[in-house]
Amino acid sequence: MLDPRRFPELLTPAEMAEADRLSVAAGVSSAAMMERAGAAVAAEAARMAPSRGRIAVLCGQGGNGGDGFVAARLLVEWGYRVELSLMGDHATLLAARDGLRGDAAVAAGRWSGPVRNAGSLDLDAADLVIDALLGAGLSRPLAGEALAEVGRINAFGRSGRPVLSIDVPSGLDGESGVAQGAAVNASASVTFFRLKPGHLLQPGRALCGRLVLAEIGSAPSALAAIAPSAFVNAPAIWRSELSRPGAGSHKYSRGAALIVSGAAHRTGAARLAARAALRVGAGLATIASPLAAVADNAAHSTAVMVAPFSGLAGFARLLADPRRNAALIGPGAGVGEETRGLVAAALSAPSDKPRAIILDADALTSFAGDAAGLAKLIAGAAHATVVTPHEGEFARLFRGCTEIIENKSKLSRARAAAAMLGAFVVLKGADTVVAAPDGRAAIGFDLPPELATAGSGDTLAGFVCGLLAQSMPGFEAAAAAVWLHGACARALGPGLIAEDLAEALPGVLRALLA
């Protein structure tokens, strides 16, 4: 089995079909690929079911059904008691041969057992159900026989017994991760060659259960021809861009981050972000503090410096230092015209060196319903810009942009937002998506739920800021920050609070860079 983190390319259902076509053109037998796929399913089923247990295989009339026939045949050879059903009228063995096409028909022809009508199997007698009904390219709501079969499978699963889906749970759109009205809630899913976006995007990730990625002999050249633009967010896609200090490094050569603080009663978020920027490798982190908040920030900061400012003119003077090559605005900043002014000043500030701008939280909400206005400011900037909204902030920022906020696919929403803003977008959540204006995207893989805690997003913004201060490219910096954020939470486990995340980073980086 393959580790998706080492094979991070994501393929849409259409791209996977193209990979199959290219593999056949390169001389790979499509029947052999189906045989390997079915064997991978059978091997996983054997791990999930008791020895010589009862297994029900529910097949559809597409390629998934063919995989199901292969798995059923092999499981019988291994001593399991297998019953199989096929959707469609007159599901006899002869009809299976006639109703299925291509390799699926060949696989059905090699099955020597009876083929039952859909809905006729006694699932109560089974130890495991294999869902081989529908593939990843489903684009319409389930109805009729398919809907009824999905309901029966889910009733079986609710009894506490395992369900194994082939490719994706039936009813799930493999591109968007959205259930088409209803979908199988699987204990595990076996997919082939590469994961699809729908395996990682919610609710698809939850519906898939444990993911098993199997090699079926697809031609490696197919990936180069397809040139995927979406990836599992894993070190393989950004590790080479991580900066490491050298013998001649000093604090300014490692980058200087500027983090804007809120008013006296809203200073904690900026301090979390500033400490995170330092921990991730920035040589210097400075909190730009309103005068009334200086005492509060100074009393709680040691390694982090504090620079007072008053008004936009004072902020501009802080930005005038060319050594400050990354600036973060938003955590605790407050919503309103003052914060809009700070954003405009940062995006328009001249600099002899490239300066990255990170906009989070209140900086984004200050542009609620005015994404076009923010995009205009970003377009006039000579800097890479990263925005880090959660779903609520995203919806407020793009209010009125129905083509973006009404798209059911989180991946498509993030890509459309990045293209509109001309910025790198980190759309946060259990399935955080990082998107670039050029269409590249990375989707978080099993991010820990412990990250759902106050201040977690401020720490993430600080990680992004610190990596950008080290001149890491925008897409790679944002993706690396999300991964490191999750790795810190995973290392800490239950009970973590936001202050803990940056403190866990040295151990995470040490393991990553070993």
Check whether domain 9-228 has CATH 2.60.40.1930, yes or no: no
Q: 230 phi and psi, to 5 degrees?
A: -120, 145
pLDDT at 89: 63
Q: 256 phi and psi, to 5 degrees?
A: -125, 120
Residue among 1, 14, 13 at smallest CA distance from 212? 1
pLDDT at 99: 54
Structural element, H or E, at residue 505 = helix 498-513
pLDDT at 94: 46
Q: What is the identity of the amino acid at 257?
A: A
pLDDT at 394: 99
User: What is the spatial distance between Cα 139 and Cα 171, in angstroms, rounded to a whole number?
Assistant: 9
User: What is the spatial distance between Cα 262 and Cα 285, in angstroms, rounded to a whole number?
Assistant: 16
pLDDT in tens, the chain (514 residues): 789 989 999 999 999 999 999 999 999 999 999 999 999 999 999 999 999 999 999 999 999 999 999 999 999 999 999 999 999 864 444 444 455 678 999 999 999 999 999 999 999 999 999 999 999 988 889 999 999 999 999 999 999 999 999 999 999 999 999 999 999 999 999 999 999 999 999 999 999 999 999 999 999 999 999 999 999 999 999 999 998 888 877 887 899 999 999 999 999 999 999 999 999 999 999 999 999 999 999 999 889 999 999 999 999 999 999 999 999 999 999 999 999 999 999 999 887 777 999 999 999 999 999 999 999 999 988 889 999 999 999 999 999 999 999 999 999 999 999 999 999 999 999 999 999 999 999 999 999 999 999 999 999 999 999 999 999 999 999 999 999 999 999 999 999 999 999 999 999 999 999 8
Alpha carbon separation from 281 to 248, 270, 304, 439, 465 (Å, rounded): 15, 17, 13, 28, 10
Helix axes of 30-48 and 102-109: crossing angle, nearest 10 degrees: 60
User: What is the spatial distance between Cα 254 and Cα 272, in angstroms, rounded to a whole number?
Assistant: 20
User: What is the spatial distance between Cα 260 and Cα 484, in angstroms, rounded to a whole number?
Assistant: 23
Alpha carbon separation from 513 to 442, 476, 507 (Å, rounded): 21, 16, 10
User: What is the spatial distance between Cα 262 and Cα 333, in angstroms, rounded to a whole number?
Assistant: 4
Domain ranges of the chain: 9-228, 250-513
CA atoms within 13 A on the CB side of 394: 25
Structure tokens at 180: 């088409």
User: What is the spatial distance between Cα 31 and Cα 341, in angstroms, rounded to a whole number?
Assistant: 63
User: What is the spatial distance between Cα 444 and Cα 236, in angstroms, rounded to a whole number?
Assistant: 13
Q: What is the identity of the amino acid at 16?
A: M
Residue among 441, 27, 372, 21 at smallest CA distance from 231? 441
Q: 271 phi and psi, to 5 degrees?
A: -70, -40
Alpha carbon separation from 174 to 157, 320, 431, 434 (Å, rounded): 21, 48, 15, 19
Angle at 269 between CA 267 and CA 270, to 5 degrees: 70
Alpha carbon separation from 360 to 13, 217, 312, 328, 367 (Å, rounded): 33, 44, 19, 8, 11
User: What is the spatial distance between Cα 435 and Cα 485, in angstroms, rounded to a whole number?
Assistant: 17
Evaluate whether 350 touches 383 at the Cβ level (below 8 Å): no
Residue among 127, 133, 123 at smallest CA distance from 189? 133
Q: What is the identity of the amino acid at 245?
A: P
Beta-carbon contacts of 376 under 8 Å, excluding residues fewer than 6 positions away, are none
User: What is the spatial distance between Cα 370 and Cα 246, in angstroms, rounded to a whole number?
Assistant: 43
- Quickly name the fold that domain 250-513 has: UDP-N-acetylmuramoyl-L-alanine:D-glutamate ligase (3.40.1190)
User: What is the spatial distance between Cα 473 and Cα 209, in angstroms, rounded to a whole number?
Assistant: 34
| Domain 9-228 and domain 250-513 have a common topology | no
Strand partners, 54: 81
Residue 195 CA from chain centroid, whole number: 11
The count of other CB atoms within 10 Å of the CB of residue 137 is: 18
Q: What is the identity of the amino acid at 270?
A: A
